[in-house]
């Protein structure tokens, strides 16, 4: 039976550590770290995630400032808001919830954030720092994935990691982090030929393709570790929806360890956002 890596418990433990760092900052300076959360539009999933981020901030003592903007909010006005947040010394982190509405150029918006306040780690400066291994802020989901993997792996040298998915948010940055640990990394995607054969050689699979139950039991070699990043909402006959991952977890008994969906990578994403916000605030004060 595969070990289930409990992302909820690990996220709680990380948030408890973050809360202790926040308390130390407040004792030192009287000011808590502060995160600006910007949501443009009314995407239902984004609203859930933003609500969760704000309530988790409150739980650990981070001050959050919410900017909820209408779906037709002009791009120029969004850029002006980012300029204001960049120059506000009381704001340590800026988060623009993705996806943005189609009339907004997401790359332009993310590039406008001060890299020191870019708690999502999406700014090109932070992307460059990650790829050169020179510090910076690391995207939250990949950071969370590495913490989950570190709970079951001591030494990555000699291990083959296969990343399925090449997004800027997950696939590319997690590949960089695995390389930094000295794993041998293959980045694949939904168009990759012979994907099951490639996956079957992996000691570590990170599935971030956004394709429900893509990774089947026969794709996974016995003893592999499988991180499921997919969050796919499947409509049910009764009108409700069920969340499933990118892996057919019920076929993975022969794996060494797997992350569940829900309750695996997702909660770690939010805990790592809080962690990055405190890190940005600590760096701003030194």
Binding-site residue numbers for NADP(+) are: 165-167, 190, 231
Q: What CA–CA distance (Å, rounded) separates 83 from 79?
A: 6
Give the residue with the Cβ less far from ligand LMY7XDAE, 96 or 281.
96
Per-position x/- string for 110-129, each x denoting binding to ligand LMY7XDAE as judged by CB under 6 A, each - no binding: ----------x---------
Catalytic residue among 53, 117, 172, 203: 53
- Please select the residue that binds ligand LMY7XDAE; options are 25, 81, 140, 244, rule is CB under 6 A: 140
Report the residue from 101, 210, 217, 263 that binds ligand LMY7XDAE according to the rule CB under 6 A: 263
Q: How far apart are CA 34 and CA 280, in angstroms?
A: 10
Q: How far is the CB of 53 from ligand LMY7XDAE (least distance, A)?
A: 7
Quickly list DSSP for the chain. -PEEP-HHHHHHHHHHHHHHHHHHHHHHHS---EEEEEEES--HHHHHHHHHHHHHHHHHT-EEEEEEE-TT--HHHHHHHHHHHHH-TT--EEEE-SSPPTTS-HHHHHHHS-GGG-TT--SHHHHHHHHHT---PPPHHHHHHHHHHHTT-S--TT-EEEEE---TTTHHHHHHHHHHTT-EEEEE-TT-TTHHHHHTT-SEEEE-S--TT-B-GGGS-TT-EEEE---EEEE-TTS-EEEE-SB-GGG-TTSSEE--SSSSHHHHHHHHHHHHHHHHHHHHH-
- Contacting residue, 108, 262, 283, 285, with ligand LMY7XDAE by CB under 6 A: 262
- 97 in contact with ligand LMY7XDAE (CB under 6 A): yes
Q: Judged by CB under 6 A, does residue 267 bind ligand LMY7XDAE?
A: yes
Query: By CB under 6 A, is residue 49 in contact with ligand LMY7XDAE?
Result: yes
Which range of residues in 81-89, 177-185, 204-212, 259-267 is near ligand LMY7XDAE by CB under 6 A?
259-267
**Residue 98 vs 284, nearer CB to ligand LMY7XDAE:** 98
Residue 274 within binding range of ligand LMY7XDAE, rule CB under 6 A: no
Site residues for ligand LMY7XDAE, 207-236, by CB under 6 A, read 231
Catalytic residue among 117, 118, 120, 228: 120
Let me know if 120 is a catalytic residue: yes
C-alpha span between 259 and 148 (Å, rounded): 8
Give contact residues for ligand LMY7XDAE (rule: CB under 6 A). Answer: 48-49, 95-98, 120, 140-141, 169, 231, 243, 261-263, 266-267, 269-270
Catalytic residues: 53, 97, 120
């Amino acid at each position: 039976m595969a070990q289930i890596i409990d992302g909820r418990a690990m996220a709680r433990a990380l948030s408890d550590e973050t809360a202790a760092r926040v308390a130390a900052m407040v004792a030192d300076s009287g000011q808590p770290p502060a995160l600006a959360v910007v949501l443009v539009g009314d995407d239902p999933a984004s609203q859930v995630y933003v609500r969760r981020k704000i309530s988790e901030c409150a739980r650990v003592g981070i001050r959050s400032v919410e900017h909820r903007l209408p779906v037709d909010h002009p791009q120029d006005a969004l850029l002006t808001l980012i300029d204001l947040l960049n120059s506000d010394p009381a704001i340590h982190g800026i988060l623009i919830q993705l996806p943005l509405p189609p009339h907004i150029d997401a790359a332009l918006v993310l590039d406008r954030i001060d890299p020191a306040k870019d708690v999502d780690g999406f700014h090109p400066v932070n992307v460059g720092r990650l790829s050169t291994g020179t510090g910076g802020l690391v995207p939250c989901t990949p950071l969370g994935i590495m913490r989950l993997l570190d709970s079951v792996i001591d030494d990555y040298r000699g291990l083959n990691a296969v990343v399925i998915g090449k997004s800027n948010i997950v696939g590319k940055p997690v590949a960089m982090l695995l390389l930094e640990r000295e794993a041998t990394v293959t980045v694949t995607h939904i168009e990759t030929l012979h994907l099951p054969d490639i996956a079957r050689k992996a000691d570590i699979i990170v599935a971030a393709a956004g394709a429900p139950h893509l990774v089947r039991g026969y794709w996974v070699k016995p003893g592999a570790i499988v991180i499921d990043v997919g969050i796919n909402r499947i409509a049910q006959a009764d009108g409700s929806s069920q969340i499933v991952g990118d892996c057919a977890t019920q076929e993975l008994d022969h794996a060494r360890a797997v992350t569940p969906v829900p309750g695996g990578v997702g909660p770690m994403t939010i805990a790592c956002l809080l962690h990055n916000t405190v890190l940005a605030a600590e760096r701003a004060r030194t």
